[in-house]
A and B are shown apart, each in its own frame.
Chain A
Amino acid sequence: MEYEPVIGLEVHVQLNTKTKIFCSCSTKFGSEPNSQTCPVCLGLPGVLPVLNREALKKGILAGMALNSRISQYSKFDRKNYFYPDLPKAYQISQFDKPICEGGYVEIEANNKKKKIGITRLHLEEDAGKSIHSEDPARNISYVDLNRTGVPLAEIVSEPDIRSGDEAYEYLQKIKSLMKYIEASDCNMEEGSLRCDVNISIRKKGASEFGEKVEIKNLNSFKAVRSAINYEIERQTRMIQYGNKIHQETRLWDADKNETYGMRSKEDAHDYRYFPDPDLAPVILDSAFIDEVKKELPELPDEKRERFIAQYNLPQYDAGVLTSIKQLAQYFESVVEKGADPKKASNWIMSELLGKIDDAEKIDAFPVTAEMLAGLLKLIKNNTISGKIAKKVFDEMIKTGKDAETIVEEKGLKQVTDTAEIGSMIDRVIENNPKSVEDYKNGTKKALGFLVGQVMKESKGKANPQMVNEILVKKLN
């Protein structure tokens, strides 16, 4: 019997607005606990929420990036539950009328394109953070409410995902999209992207779903993939041996690489959702939606196709260059400054990406797009060879100087003077009679050796093509 997993993801993305979703406190990460709070986000008696327009806009942009329908009527609801880091004892969220419905993202799985459906995107406020003392004897918990009220977009996928790898690709895509539209930093370590997994197993080809298990406490994309792989195995084994899967919530233990049960369905909360009477429904006219749409930048898929068409790049290269917005921008600037697109792409892919930790911060890279274009120009007009160019590039990173200056200062200019090359060749012929002999006897390999010797003699600066030509002439 063959089984297949059915997987859906719930992704919480922190929207990177300057202020919180219902008050004007800062959203900055990592500040002194409880320093970014006010009566509103502290939930003091008598306070009222006011929706942050920026959060609304970013939510709409996010929905557009996911190909969702933007609701002209949506509303906020209260999700009621008690927890020390939830000051009002309810979270303002959206229940039955989310801001965005439907949609999809395209991922690549097993070299094939696949659409993963989006059920909805809704806006809500984040809760605070409970920090439990690690010393069991002290038995103290602390609450930090800086995060309380930071805007979140919850993105719920359709159960279209079939493997850990697909889930991983889906998350990469969501992250790339959110970064493209500058809606979120999507930093899992800082909690600006969080992901819960819903997973069940069924007989392959069946149309009904199995009992679903929710996995929480996933703190990296890799953890999501590993947890799914673990859970697929666990559930399949259970079913194979005739056991039933029970609806439950399980937590991922990253150290042990396994999931474990946290609470069963019977303990599930009744959140008593109802419309928040403090907030009017959000009614958007098409003019406003069109206005927001104008802010939607070219998205990675479109950009990739354009790069293929416009710059004649291979699919793979275009994919890498467009996965990060800043990188794509950098590439286009290099081309704009006169570089050949394919050469620019090759240089970025094989040289530059190996020298930079975070391609999103390419704007802070010492070699600007203009400087790289300058370097490529020197190769093109034979001022330096490709090999020397790599050295020059390293020097550019180190010093921040442009290629021309470095070539000038270090005297790296390619030697193209026939007489100069000729005299170097003469010296090499004189010093390597054995190889000259071999060549004349038909050992073609010897030519390569002699060229190498000439290049060495020139400290790599001689034009290799000219060396080759003149050497062959002199030997014959």
Chain B
Amino acid sequence: MLYKYNFEELALLLERGEVRSVDIADSFLKRIQNYDKKINSFITVDEEKLYLQAEESDARRKKGGELSRYDGIPIAVKDNICTKGIKTTCASKILENFIPPYNAAVYEKLKGSGFILLGKTNMDEFAMGSTTEASFFGPSKNPYNTEKVPGGSSGGSAAAVSANLAPAAIGSDTGGSIRQPAAFCGVTGIKPTYGRVSRYGLVAFASSLDQIGTFGNCVDDAALLLSVISGYDKRDSTSIDVEVDFHPEKLRDDLNEIVIGVPDEYFKGVSEDIRNNIEGKLKELEVNGAKIEKISLKYIDYAVPVYYLIATAEASSNLARYDGIRYGYRSDAASTLDELYSKTRSEGFGKEVKRRIMLGTFSLSSGYYDAYYLKALKGRTLIIEDFKKAFSKVDVIITPTTTTTAYNLGEMINDPLQMYMSDILTISANLAGIPGISIPAGLDREGLPIGLQIMGSHFREKKIFGLAAIIEKICEPIHPEI
């Protein structure tokens, strides 16, 4: 039953010597062995290394040398975060056997606090997708209903936490890739402020939008894990030195001073069940003392085109290095250099990745740059200004995380535009670089989880977590039956 506990409970058990790290690892490993054939949330689980890490942790603790209270707790990590000596595939054929010779900053921090690596989780190839169906290793399934997608691109991390295959997980969010699967799988997922967590070692999709964040089965776990991986890193020029002020024990839970902004635009096209649920939560908050204010974020209609121009442009350049020359997949059907490039990349990348590389290459081409990429940058500035204005009036913004609950497997795969549109409620936070969290707010009539999104101004994670912890208390807890 150890798999059911949260960080605090596990830490207490470890502290009192009632369980060992090896027991916890064993508990999760058994769960994975029993259920992950169905969920497919992990790409790599190295059992030997897992036990080894757990034994090392137990030895540390025995000598009183534990690295933190949480030393020995296993964590799942998305497979686009480099782990030295352990495969990091980005769910792509092109990196199918890639073993990084270095650790991502985030993984170093986890290790530094004694967390151990449970496994590497499934995702859409190079984090491009909203369903985890674009994985070279097959789709992950939603623990609430295995006919449904878990969302994406961090679908493996979300599903693993939801199905108690991992106590918590690390993901990455470029346009909603943490918040949307968190919503679909009924867990808490936070994308922090751009610059809060070092991107060093995160395999880049769209560098100006990518941000690493966390999943937990409760707000405290997501906050705690985020506090562990946050902080300035001189190896990431976009990382920012700001105090990490949101350890769970520091979170406020007073509604009386808080002003919550609610943008009308974010409720358009949202399913009835989701709208009713979120509006119900807002009423309850108001009754309990929060001030609710209608606001307008009028540039939301531009968010999707702006996002897909910038993200694909950056991706087309970021993914150019996978050329078969130095590492990764190489086509053996090539006889010239140009052929080596085109065949390696044609065979090594999946359909969605190729689509985005083509889009990005086009919008950066001479003659089109001004009309597409440059215009998108201007649109991005407008969206940033929109949020700035909003946050001068309100502390946080509450919206649904998604317009619908989890879709059927296969439903979106042949309709990329429809899939791109489904990101509409999450991508603005990435464009503006602001933090956003999704917490489970209940179930819809199909029994699928609904996500409530809270966005805050730059580096106001503490406010977001504080409010999320309150909302968590007024929502009925949900669990998948697996």
Residues in chain A within 8 A of chain B (CB atoms) = 39, 42-51, 78, 80, 82, 84, 87-90, 143, 270, 272-274, 277-280
Report yes or no: B101 in contact with A39, Cβ–Cβ below 8 A: yes
Instruction: Kindly state whether residue B305 has any CB partner on chain A within 8 Å.
Output: no
Report yes or no: A48 in contact with B88, Cβ–Cβ below 8 A: no
Which residue of the partner chain, among B95, B200, B314, B341, contacts A48 with CB atoms under 8 Å?
Answer: B200
Complex: A87 Cα to B337 Cα, angstroms: 15
Please name the residue on chain B nearest to A141 by beta carbon: B337
Known: A45-B90, A277-B208. A80 touches B365 (CB 8 A): no
Q: Which interface class (under 10, 10 to 19, 20 to 34, 35 or more) fits B?
A: 35 or more
Report yes or no: B237 in contact with A84, Cβ–Cβ below 8 A: no
Which residues of B (320-349) have their CB < 8 Å from a CB of A? Answer: 320-321, 323, 325-327, 337, 341
Q: How many A-B residue pairs have CB under 8 A?
A: 99
Complex: A172 Cα to B206 Cα, angstroms: 44
With a 10 A CB-CB cut-off, give which of B88, B238, B321 has the most chain A CB atoms: B321
Report yes or no: A45 in contact with B317, Cβ–Cβ below 8 A: no
Across the interface, which residues of B come within 8 angstroms of A88, CB to CB?
320-321
Complex: A89 Cα to B199 Cα, angstroms: 20
Majority secondary structure, A binding face: loop
Which residue of the partner chain, among B88, B323, B364, contacts A45 with CB atoms under 8 Å?
Answer: B88
Task: Please list the 7 inter-chain residue pairs (A to B) with the smallest Cβ-Cβ separation, ordered nearest first.
Answer: A89-B320, A277-B208, A277-B207, A272-B364, A45-B203, A46-B201, A46-B203
Which residue of the partner chain, among A82, A273, A274, contacts B341 with CB atoms under 8 Å?
Answer: A82
Complex: A447 Cα to B195 Cα, angstroms: 92
Report yes or no: A39 in contact with B102, Cβ–Cβ below 8 A: yes
Report yes or no: B202 in contact with A46, Cβ–Cβ below 8 A: yes
Report yes or no: A44 in contact with B365, Cβ–Cβ below 8 A: no
Instruction: Kindly state whether residue B235 has any CB partner on chain A within 8 Å.
Output: yes
Chain A nearest CB from B389 CB (Å) reads 24
Report yes or no: B207 in contact with A43, Cβ–Cβ below 8 A: no
Chain B nearest CB from A273 CB (Å) reads 8
Across the interface, which residues of A come within 8 angstroms of B313, CB to CB?
274
Complex: A277 Cα to B102 Cα, angstroms: 22
Report yes or no: B320 in contact with A90, Cβ–Cβ below 8 A: yes
Chain B nearest CB from A443 CB (Å) reads 86
Complex: A272 Cα to B373 Cα, angstroms: 11
Complex: A48 Cα to B207 Cα, angstroms: 10
Across the interface, which residues of A come within 8 angstroms of B237, CB to CB?
48-51, 278-280
Chain B nearest CB from A444 CB (Å) reads 84
Report yes or no: A80 in contact with B317, Cβ–Cβ below 8 A: yes
Complex: A158 Cα to B100 Cα, angstroms: 46
Instruction: Kindly state whether residue B82 has any CB partner on chain A within 8 Å.
Output: yes
Report yes or no: B366 in contact with A272, Cβ–Cβ below 8 A: yes
Which residues of B (200-217) have their CB < 8 Å from a CB of A? Answer: 200-204, 206-208
Instruction: Kindly state whether residue B293 has any CB partner on chain A within 8 Å.
Output: no
Report yes or no: B327 in contact with A50, Cβ–Cβ below 8 A: no
Across the interface, which residues of A come within 8 angstroms of B101, CB to CB?
39, 44
Which residue of the partner chain, among A47, A51, A82, contacts B320 with CB atoms under 8 Å?
Answer: A82
Across the interface, which residues of B come within 8 angstroms of A280, CB to CB?
237-238
Complex: A155 Cα to B336 Cα, angstroms: 34
Instruction: Kindly state whether residue B299 has any CB partner on chain A within 8 Å.
Output: no
Which residues of B (297-329) have their CB < 8 Å from a CB of A? Answer: 313-314, 316-317, 320-321, 323, 325-327
